[in-house]
Each structure stands twice: as structure tokens, then as C-alpha cells.
Amino acid sequence: MSAPAPLTIETRSKGTPPTRRIAIAGNPNCGKSTVFNALTGMRQKVGNYPGVTVERKEGSFFGTHGEPMTLLDLPGSYSLQVRSPDEAVSRDVLLGRLPTEPRPDLVICVVDASNLERNLYLVAQILELKLPVVLALNMVDMAEEAGVRIDVAALEEKLGVPVVPMVATKGRGLIELKQAASRSPLPPLGHVATMPQVILNEIEEVAKLLPISSQLAEPEALLLLTLNESALEDLAEHRRAIVDAVHAAQRRLRIEGIDPISAPVEARYEWIHGVCRASLSKQGDDQALLSTSDRLDGVLTHRLWGWVVFLGAMACMFFCIFAVAQAPMDWLDGACTALARWVGSQMPEGDFRGLITDGVIAGVGRVLVFLPQILILYFFLGILEDTGYMARAAFIMDRLMSCVGLHGKSFIPLLSSFACAIPGVMAARTIENTKDRLVTILVAPLMSCSARLPVYALMIAVLIPIASAWVKASIMLSMYLLGLIAAFAMAWLFKRTLLRSETPMLLLELPPYRMPSIASIALRMWERAGLFLRRAGTVILSLSVLLWALASYPKPSRPDATPGEALSASAAGHMGHALAPVIAPLGFDWKIGIGLIGSFAAREVFVTTMSIVYNVELPDKEQTATLRDSMRNEKRDDGSPVFTPLVCIALMVFYVLAMQCISTVAIVRRETNSWRWPLFQLGYMTALAWIGAFVVFQGGRILGFR
Amino acid sequence: MISGDSAALSALSPGDRGKVASFNLPPEQKQRFLEMGLTIGTEVQFVKFAPMGDPLEIKVRGYHLSLRKADAAGIYVNRL
């Protein structure tokens, strides 16, 4: 079975020594990513761990003698006692539990020197795993600023591992870190916290039962011993005997008066306290001294100013995603159209030309056109994250979000979705809890994105051609509000039913404010853009080609058919006809049905589809008026107009609630790693849209509207 | 044991300080607070409430941590 194994040994035994595998671990906000980026530069690969949606980031760098090293960036975590899939990956890699991931030869633990005590907690746990460790003592400049002096030699002696003081953002200490990481032989194992003897005895008992090497058995046993009841329950299914033994051990400890959950934590902090006492000296009374960060925070989370800054920051971000992105988006759109036109002029007329211009180029164009929004979003997310303001945004919004059972961190993805659900769904990665991340992703497309705007504009124009800007704006605003309310209501519902879970506990570190590094933000933007193009591009492209084919085949029987007749004769046209009875209760006819189907490529395609159906030339600025007029003149068989005000409103409500966007489906598929959730989302949102439009149309009729 | 009275962390006012005395929380939550450094005897300082009155912010072991009132109500401190 395991044929590849000997192969690796063979290749390793020849020539150069094996590449040293290094993992980089640390708390969130300790500058771990900066250290990783500084070491590897652009030599990074981003992917996923098999079977989970946790991102896997690997890079490479060369040691002091040119020897290649691979560096694995572990997700940031506070403890090996895991609470999220990200933290589970960190733990599993360090324990060598993953079949696809060999246990690292060395761990670089990054700690924030200005917050050493808490940062050392994870280090204490990693040292217990009996892995060689190098401590990257990051942000020593900030520590010095705060009056904290660290005696590196004393710290090395107490921890028993090499310590490299550094300022990763300025590149200070990088060479020393590389030297420490490439030194041969590997650094010796460090010191560990002393656990109470009774706990050590129980560790030994549990370790005996574990079918793994003795080096790993003890750390595993300690992790098991400190698991709480619910975590043990989850394990019980597979490891009945072991779980029973752990239960028995925990009982014995409790009889001795030792709480297995808290005693190891307290032992580690006590040890850390000793380490810090020997190596740390503080100048002045830090409680009395207000740092710049504290003073800044006084304003930024102030009862009044906090809101002003928060709303201002969000408005600015929203405006940039919405308005500033418009110019490059139009440019990309225009470039794609021009390219399609040029290719069209160079190729003989026929199906193949249609496939290239209307299928491939238009499809790729629809992906590319989102790129400016995504870049701008990641620029802002990067700034918010790196300055430390993101945590404050969650701090301010948590009260509101917890009303529907979500975490303050769900706010940013939902806000971003007003511009476009794609970056919104991608931004949900900052949410640790899987269920909460899923709920956020599921409701994000209910926020009215910019692609709905042309549809709203068209329907409002048809509805009331000479309305004042005020009326138009208030109709528009109510559509946005409807989406917002629907998103919160559905989040509330999902949190109580399908993805039932407690409102996630809030335990949010508010890191000190820092200057963001533009280079690292640019690197992240570049990385995200690439990911988006690669991940969504393939799916969106193939679905676009499929939609093109549906709208083009079969060909109309008469060769002189108008584009409208051709569309009506195509598979999409037939689907429109087939859809007619389903959407009749909403007041929609088959032509609108075709428009709905075409909208799955992207919502704004509705306008184009409608112009084809009504044989109006491509909708330029003036042609919108023509399209509006032909839609207003459209009559049913009985002579009554199709687009009554009620139908227009029902149609808009449908567009607010429906998930007519294959790009979002594709990105949700990528982000959740399965088809299950995007399909469910498509289903529930379509149902919601149908019900919403039904209630508007039928309810309106009962009330006497037309 | 000489100093001050015991109070829930959520009942402190901005600027108040205390030492963690005990927990009345489910084990999992208690463990998370402990791991974030709120071990028994650790000094904490109440910093402020969020603009909407919840969550709240404390300073512990030199860093700032935010938690909800409901959870803070299960953490008891001896005022300093």
C-alpha cells in the first residue's frame, strides 16, 4: 500500500541532506506572518489542508550555507487546547498527527516581546511536545518603548532554547533567526513547566494506552487529560477505552483536590512567571502610565467619537469598494468587450466565434471585473487588521451581532458583501468558529451587492419614469434594508436550527495600535488576487460557457430569426417557458423567466437579456430609456401591461433575496470545500426570493394594488 | 485575604483593579480564561465598556482583552 515511503528515503539518502522542515507558530497578533513573509518573501505556496477549509501556507528559504529549508506557517493560536479548526491544524501538525504533513524538525515560536507572559503560554505547551524550538522574540522595539527590558541571555537560560531578539517589520534579527534555524545539529530540547507529581503519574498511565511512539505519547496524554467533558465526548466514539481511562484519571485527580482542567494551566503560568522574573525588568509603573496606544484607544472606542470614527472608516471602505473601484471595473469591462469585438472581427462568423466571444471572453471578463473590488477590499482589510483596528470594530459591533447569535467578527464580511458577496465570503475567514463562519457565508449574499444596482435602476425606471430622485432613492434604500433585515433574520434562524450553536464566546485580544506595513499588505493583496483568479476563475469560466450554450442552442429553425426569437427558441428560452407556471404566481411571464435564468451568470446580465428579448440594441445610456419604454409597453395576452408597479416591486424583491450569481456559488464552494453548502444556499435563497415576491405580488393584489 | 471585598468582574467600574479569586463558569470557558492568563491571583484592571455597553475591556498581564458582560459575571475578583 504505502509505496511512496521507501522512495522518499531513497531520494533522501542520496546527495544532499534532507530539507529541514520548520514550522512557525505563535499567537495571533504576534507578527508571525511578518516573520514568515520576511523569511520567505515571494517564495510562498497557499493552499488548503486536505479535507478542511483551513489555509495552508508554505514557503521556502535558504539557510546560512545555502541549504534549502521549508517553512510552514501554522494558523495563529493561543493554546494547543483547540477551539477552532485552525487551531486544530496547528496542534495536529506539531504532534505529527496529519498523514500528509510530516512532523516538523524545528519550530520557530514567534512571541510579542511587549506581551511576553501570555505569549509564552503557547511556547510552554510546544516545549512540552519535545520539539526543538527557536524563540523569535519579536517587536523588541515596542517592548522597549513600553519600558520593558528583556535579558536575552537569561531568557535563553531559563527556556533552554535559542532566543533571537528581532523587529520583523524592519528586518532586524532576520539573519540571526536564519542562523539559529539552520544551525546543525538542531537545538536541544528546552525546559518545561513542572507539573504536579500526581498529574505526571496520571500522564504516564494514560500514555501507556496510546498506540504511538513514547516521545509523543506523553504530550498527547497530557492534552487528553486536560480535555473538558464535551471534547472528550466527541472523542469517545472512536477511542472508547482511552476516553474511559482519561475519565478515571480525571476522577482520581479530583479526589486528590486537583482540577485537571486548570492545574496544568496554572503550573505553566507559574513557570512562565519564574522565567519572566529572571529575564524581564520593567521601568516605571505601567499601570499608571498611559501608552500612546491607550490614548488612541480612548478616542477610537469612545462612546461618541468611537462611532464617528467607526462609521467614517466603514463609509470610506464602502465608498472605495463601491465608487473608486468603478473606474477600473469599467475599464476592465470595456477592455473585455473591445477584445471580444476585436476577436469577433477577426474570426469567421459561427458557433465557435460565439463560444470564444460570448462564452469564454465574456465569462473571463465577469471574473476579472471583480478584481478591483477585491484588491481594494483586501487593502482595507489589511490596514484594519495590521493597525489593530479590526479587533476594535468587532469590539464595537459585537453587541449588535450577538443579538442574532453571531460574533462581532461577522460584521466585516457582511459589510463587504454590500459591494460584492465574493470578497465578503472570502473575508469570513477571520471567523474562527466553523458554524459561525458558515452562517456568515450563508447570509452574506443577501446583502444587496453592486451587481443588483443596474437591475434596481432599470426596474425603478420602468416603475416610475418621472419620479423625483427622492422617491427613487427611498425605493432603492428600502431594497437595501430588505436585504439587511433578511440577512439578520436568516442568520438568527440558522443559528437556532441548522447550525445550532451557542452565541460564540467573545474572548478577543485588543492588540496595541501599530503602523501597518504597506509591503506586507501589498503581498497579501497579491496573494488574494491570485487565489481569487485561480479558484473562482475555473468554475466561473466553465459555468459561463454552459450558460452561453444554453442561450445559443438549439438554433432557431428560421435563419433570419431576430436575436429575441433565437433566444426564445434556445434551451434557455425553453427553460423560461417551463419556468412560466412556477413564476406566474409572482406576476412574472416567460420573458422575465429567461431574464432570471440569464441572471445566474451575473445579475446585471438581466438588463442585457431583457434587451435581447425585447429586441433592443445593446443597452447604452440612451438605450436604457428605449428598453424601459418597450418594457412599459409590453402587454399580456389579455392586453393588460406586464410590468405593473406591483410586478416591478415583486421583481426587485426577488432580486434582493435570490442568489443569482454563479461567481458566489463558485467562491462558496471553494471556501466551504464542498458543493453541499453552496447548493443549500442557492436553494434556500431561491425559495426565500419566491416567497418574498409571492407575498408582495399576491398580498398587493389582495390590498387592491395592481 | 486581608484586602478588599469580592465582586464579579462585570460589576467593576473603569479604572478598578482586582485579583482573580474564583470562577463560576462552565469548565470549557473557565479553561479558556485561564489560558488567556486569568489564573487565580492574577491582577486585572477594568478598562472600559464598549460603546453599546457590552462587551467590556480589561487589562491583564500587560495586554488588553475583551469579553462579554455575561461571561465576566462568572469571574470573581478581590478588589484592590
Say which of B29, B40, B45 has its CB closest to residue A287: B45
Q: What is the pLDDT of residue A231?
A: 78
Could you tell me the pLDDT band of residue A624, with boundaries at 50, 70 and 90?
low
Is the predicted pLDDT of residue A447 greater than 50, yes or no? yes
Is residue A425 predicted with pLDDT exceeding 70? yes
The pLDDT-based confidence of A451 (bands split at 50, 70, 90) is confident
* pLDDT above 80 for A690: yes
Which residue is closest to A268 within chain B, CA to CA?
B35
Peptide bond before A554: cis, by omega within 30 degrees of 0? Answer: yes
pLDDT band per the 50, 70, 90 thresholds, residue A9: very low
% residues pLDDT > 70 (chain A): 92
- A1 confidence band (pLDDT: 50, 70, 90): very low
| pLDDT < 50 stretches in chain B | 1-3
Peptide bond preceding B55 in cis form (omega within 30 of 0): yes
pLDDT, tens digit (0-9, with 9 covering 90-100), for A547-574: 778 878 888 777 777 777 777 788 888 8
Q: Which has more confidence, A288 or A274?
A: A274
Q: Give the sign of the dihedral formed by CA A566, CA A572, CA A578, CA A582.
A: negative
pLDDT at A6 over 70: no
Q: Tell me, what's the pLDDT at A269?
A: 96
- Summarize the confidence of residues A661-690 as an average pLDDT: 90
Question: Which of A81, A230, A395 is nearest residue B55 as measured by Cβ atoms?
Answer: A395
Q: What is the largest CA-CA distance in chain B?
A: 36
DSSP 8-state symbol, A661: -
- Judged by average pLDDT, the poorest of A36-45, A622-631, A665-674 is A622-631
Measure the CA–CA gap between A671 and A439, rounded to whole angstroms: 13
pTM (2 d.p.): 0.81
- pLDDT category at A212 given cuts 50, 70, 90 is confident
Chain A interface, best mutation among B17, B35, B65, B67, by max A CB count within 10 A = B35
Report the mean per-residue pLDDT for chain A.
84
Grid cell, residue A151, equals: 535579558
- Higher per-residue pLDDT: A485 or A283: A485
pLDDT at A17: 63
Alpha helices in A163-256 (DSSP H): 174-182, 197-209, 214-225, 229-236, 240-255
Q: Is the pLDDT of residue A477 over 90?
A: no
> Does residue A589 register a pLDDT over 80?
yes
User: Is the pLDDT at A322 greater than 70, yes or no?
Assistant: no
Helix (H, G, I), strand (E, B) or coil at A395: helix
Name the band, by pLDDT with cuts 50, 70 and 90, for residue A189.
confident
Q: What integer pLDDT is reported at residue A47 of this predicted model?
A: 73
Mean pLDDT of A650-656: 93
Contact B67 A507 (CB under 8 A): yes
The CA distance from B67 to the nearest CA of chain A, in Å, is 5
**Which class for A625: exposed (0-12), middle (13-18), buried (19 or more C-beta within 10 A)?**
middle
Q: Which of residues 19-58 of B touch A (CB under 8 A)?
A: 27-37, 39-40, 42, 45, 48, 50-55, 57
- Residue A376, classed as helix, strand or coil, is helix
Q: Residue A653: is its pLDDT beyond 80?
A: yes
Confidence of residue A488 (pLDDT cuts 50, 70, 90): very high
Vertex A169: Cα angle to A166 and A174 (nearest 5): 45
Share of chain A above pLDDT 90, in %: 27
For range A328-352, the mean pLDDT: 85
Q: What is the pLDDT of residues A34-81, one digit of tens each?
A: 899 889 887 777 777 776 667 788 999 988 888 899 999 998 889 998
pLDDT at A544 over 80: no
Q: Looking at residues A360-373, what average pLDDT do you find?
A: 77
Distance between CA A63 and CA A120 in Å, rounded?
A: 26
Which of A287, A306, A402 shows the shortest C-beta gap to B51? A306
Specify the pLDDT at position A286: 53
**pLDDT-derived band of residue A4, with 50, 70 and 90 as boundaries?**
very low
Of A259, A436, A253, residue with least CA distance to B31: A259
Whether A130 shows a pLDDT value over 60: the answer reads yes
